[in-house]
Amino acid sequence: MSYQPSSTRYDLMKYRRCGNSGLKLPALSLGLWHNFGYIDVIENSRRILHTAFDNGVTHFDLANNYGPPPGSAEENFGRILRDDFRACRDELIISTKAGYTMWEGPYGDWGSRKYLISSLDQSLKRMGLEYVDIFYHHRPDPETPLEETMQALDYIVRSGKALYAGISNYPAEKAKEAIAVLKKLGTPCLIHQPKYSMFERWIEGGLLNVLDEEGVGCIPFSPLAQGMLTNKYLDGIPAGSRASRGVFLKESDLSEKRLTQIYKLNELALQRDQSLAQMALAWVLKDPRVTSVLIGASKPQQVTDSLKCLENLTFSEDELNSIERILKH
Q: What is the mean pLDDT of residues 109-119?
A: 98
Q: What is the mean pLDDT of residues 194-214?
A: 98
> What are phi and psi for residue 218, nearest 5 degrees?
-135, 130
Separation of alpha carbons 120 and 99, rounded Å: 11
Separation of alpha carbons 122 and 70, rounded Å: 12
pLDDT grade, residue 245 (50/70/90)?
low
Residue 315 pLDDT greater than 90, yes or no = yes
Query: CB pairs under 8 A, 24+ apart, for 113-121?
Result: 113/148, 113/149, 113/151, 113/152, 113/155, 116/149, 116/152, 116/153, 116/156, 117/152, 117/155, 117/156, 119/64, 120/96, 120/156, 120/161, 120/162, 121/161
Model pLDDT, residue 252: 74
Domain 15-226+282-313 matching CATH 3.20.20.100: the answer reads: yes
> What are phi and psi for residue 187, nearest 5 degrees?
-120, 95
Range 118-142 burial, b when 16+ CB lie within 10 A, else e: bbbebbbebbebebbbbbbbbbbbe
Round the CA-based radius of gyration of the chain to a whole number and report it: 19
List the chain domain ranges: 15-226+282-313
Lay out the sheet containing 132-137: strands in order across.
Answer: 217-218, 189-193, 162-168, 132-137, 93-98, 59-61, 28-31, 293-295
Model pLDDT, residue 272: 98
pLDDT tens, residue by residue, 223-237: 999 999 999 888 777
Model pLDDT, residue 155: 98
- Sign, Cα dihedral of 280, 62, 218, 146: positive
pLDDT tens, residue by residue, 45-99: 999 999 999 999 999 999 999 999 999 999 999 999 999 999 999 999 999 999 9
pTM of the model: 0.96
